[in-house]
Amino acid sequence: MGLFEAWPCEIAEVERVELAPGDTLVLYTDGVTEATNAVGEEFGESRLLSILRSHHFQVGPPLQAVVEAVQQFSSGRDQQDDITLVIARCIYV
């Protein structure tokens, strides 16, 4: 997804991916993974995945858990970017 008319980026051809019942789709912005702590370390994808896995990729509980984890990781620093997260579970095909 993009919101800019002119944005220099590359678009790669991606094979079609079909979700099966029970699959979970997670979409997130860089505000989640690029949130930094007091020493400049980024929250990162591994921490995000760890939280999602600990909640067994459910839909509801991980949303709040991720936001709280990012805020705790950032040690109360002002949020520099948005925290946008969409979690969707495939029920029917």
pLDDT in tens, 6-58: 777 777 777 888 899 989 889 999 999 999 998 999 999 999 999 999 987 77
In this prediction, residue 84 has a pLDDT band, given cuts at 50, 70 and 90, of confident
Q: For residue 45, give the nearest of 55, 54, 35, 57 by alpha carbon.
A: 35
Q: Kindly report the pTM of this predicted structure.
A: 0.74
Rounded Cα–Cα distance for residues 62 and 64 (Å): 6
pLDDT at position 3 is 66
Read off the pLDDT band of 2 (50, 70, 90).
low
Backbone φ and ψ for 84, nearest 5 degrees, come out as -115, 130
